[in-house]
Each structure stands twice: as C-alpha cells, then as structure tokens.
Amino acid sequence: MRVTEIVPLPLGVVTVSHLFSHLYVVALPPLFPLIRADLPLSTSQLGLVVTVLAVGTLLQVPVGGLVDHIGARTVAVLGMGLTAMGITIAGAGGSYLWLLAGAAVSGLGQASYHPANYTIIEAVSPSGSLGRSFSIHSFGGIIGFAVAPVLVGTVGLVTDWQIALQVTGLAGLGYTGLMWVLLPAAEMGPRGQSQQSRPFLADVGRIIRSRRMLVMAAFFLLMAAGMSGIMTYTPLYVIDGLGATETIGNIALSVFFGVSSVSVLLGGLLADRADPRLTISVGMGTIIVTLAVLQALSVLQVPWLIAGSFGVAGFGFGLIFASRDRLVSLAMPRGTAGTSFGVVFTIGGVGAILSPVGLGLLIDAFGVASAFIGVMVLLAPAVGVVWLFGDPPATAGG
C-alpha cells in the first residue's frame, strides 16, 4: 500500500503547512527570556506581541468565504508565505516595534490555515475517515508546537533571538514555493457555480442561525483562551513559578506537545468511533486535573515531575482535536466548509487575543502561578458547553 493511499498528497501538504503554522504561533514565547534581557519590556508587553499575532485570526471568516468561492489552493499558499514573512520581519529590526510589525504580518497569514486546510481535507478525505484525516492534520500542528520551544529556543541560545526568528521564517518561505507545486489546482477549486454565486453574507447567516454551530463557537472561545495561556506562559511558569531552569521550561512545553502528537492520532480513531462529546470531556478533564495537581505539588520543584505533569496534560490536549473538528463538520451547513471553520476559529481567535494580555496582567499583579489558575477557570466551563451540542447527527449538513 502506497503512502498516498493512507495520507493523500494534499492532506500531507497541508499537514506540513499546519506544522509551520503552529511552530510560528509559539516561536516567540521560548525567546521571551532572551528578548526581555535585551529589551526593557514587561510581561504584559511581551504578551501583547502574541495578542497582535492572534489578531489576524479575526479575518478567518472573510478568508473562509474567499476559500468557498475561489478555492483553497491559492489562499493556502499565500497564507503560508505571509506567515513566514512576518516571523522573518519580527527578527529583522531588533526592536519592540519590529516585533509588533512582524507579529501583525504573520497573524494576517495565520487567518488562512484553518479555512483553507480544512476545506482541502473535506475534499480529499476517504469516506468514513474524516476524523482520522483531521487527526493527521492536527498531528502536524502539534509537532510544530512540540519542536518550536526546543528548536527556536536552542537556536536563540546559541546565536540570539533575532537570528532564531529569521532562520525559522526563511524555512517557511522555502516551503511556500513547494506548496504551490504540490497542491493540485484542479482538486482545490470551488465546488460549483451555485456556490460561487451565493452571497458570502448568506453563508454567514446560515451558520450563525445554527444552534450547534453557536455551541461550537463558544467551545472554541474557551478552549483557545485556555490553550493560549499554556502556550504563552509555560516557560515563564516553570522558570519563575516552579524554580526550574530555562531549559526545563522549554522542555516542559515540548513534552506537552510531544505527547499530544501521539494522543491526537488516538483522538482521530475515537472521533470516527465514539461520541465526540465524551472524548472531549475526558481530554479537557485530564488537563484541568493535571494542572491542579501541578499547582499543589509546586513546592517539590522536581524537574522530571514538572515535565511529566505537562506530558499528562498534553495527552488530554491531543484527544480533543479530531472530535472537536468532527462536531463542526457535523454541524455546518452544506457547502460552507471554509466559512464555517472560519467562524469557529475566528471566535477561538478572540480567546487567543484576550488571553495572553489578560493573563499577563494577572502575572504582573499576583505572580505567574495565577495565570494557570486562570487557565483552569477558562477550560472548566468548556466541558459543560460541548454537551449543549446535543446528540451528534449521523451526517453533516444539519
């Protein structure tokens, strides 16, 4: 059996682009200690850089409409190029303004990934294996999360934070050209004249009138806000809150995402076979309980216990993705894949925008441990929200 029969080429291409996307999302936080040593910035100012990067995700709804009407290939490639270019810019000037400018450009490119990639996945996935396809795509993204802290952080320590960002950005620009060559234009076009002529706002109206889509939007808001806190402040929490070294801080985040990269594949199998709401609840509960235990045992300051705890939380994190995406696929009106995923990921982007600055202000006022109490407060209601979805329908388009 050929690899392309298990993972169709377009799915493989967008999975790697998802890796780059997530690598760029967390490329900056591992460098915060180096940036803070070089530039006189507060924690909330550093958090603002992450927030500016996340602002671009608010454009996912119009970008999703563009995907539905002109096709996903061009949007996916342009988004990849902008995201990589922004990270390169962030490392070019050596000042706070350059960091903010690069984050803004990179965030604009980030708006393309979910609407374009998920539309491509819907188009090429074999029948009955959509959950597994979602999990493969998420696997790529989580690998990006996992390698970023060690890869970018190590390059930063060996050279400096500017070179680390420039090298990372240039690698993505190279992959942009490869995407254009490998993604087949014929398969990635719009799906018919009726879809091209239907008004974009009509699609948005159909989505926001769906109770299930609104439930998923609320879930995405809470999940993204909590996860953004973990991604942004884990290195600082491990270093300043738990008394560990900078290396352990970056390793803890890499272990979190490394374990997630395995459990996300298990989550894909469960999404095709089990109630997605139950899988999400188990995964979310695992994260909350593990973070609570870590808070309680923080006085021990044992490196392997810190890294292991983040690994357990990462296992729960990985379980969630495919079931979450499967519920969106089941709820979205027909013919609106790009716009529907754009809507829920935009709402999630709101959470990612507000979370770093809000939690950063908590850290400045009460210490870094307060941010992880905030993360648990954000994630706990998400378990209840997902059950408001009701019994999942047998087919999409409801």
Separation between Cα atoms, residue 281 and residue 385, nearest integer Å: 10
* pLDDT value at residue 193: 39
pTM given for the model: 0.77
SS (HEC) of 75-129: HHHHHHHHHHHHHHHHCCCCCHHHHHHHHHHHHHHHCCHHHHHHHHHHHHCCCCC
Interior/surface letters 162-192, b for 16+ CB within 10 angstroms, e for the rest = bebbbbbbeebbebbeebbeebeeeebebee
Say which amino acid occupies 15: T
What pLDDT tens digit does each residue of the chain (398 aa) get? 454 555 778 899 999 999 999 999 888 888 988 898 888 888 788 888 888 887 777 888 888 888 877 788 889 999 999 999 999 999 998 889 999 999 999 999 999 998 899 889 888 887 678 888 989 998 998 888 778 878 898 899 999 999 999 999 999 999 999 999 998 764 555 544 344 556 777 778 888 888 999 999 999 999 999 988 888 888 888 887 777 777 787 788 878 888 988 999 999 889 888 899 999 999 999 999 999 888 887 656 677 888 888 999 999 999 999 999 999 988 888 777 788 888 898 898 888 878 888 888 888 888 888 888 999 999 999 999 999 998 876 544 33
* pLDDT value at residue 280: 96
Looking at residue 187, the DSSP 8-state letter turns out to be T
* pLDDT, tens only, 110-153: 999 988 998 898 888 876 788 889 899 989 988 887 788 788 98
Side-chain half-sphere exposure of 171, counting CA atoms within 13 A: 17
Q: Mind listing the domains of the chain with CATH numbers?
A: 3-389 (1.20.1250.20)
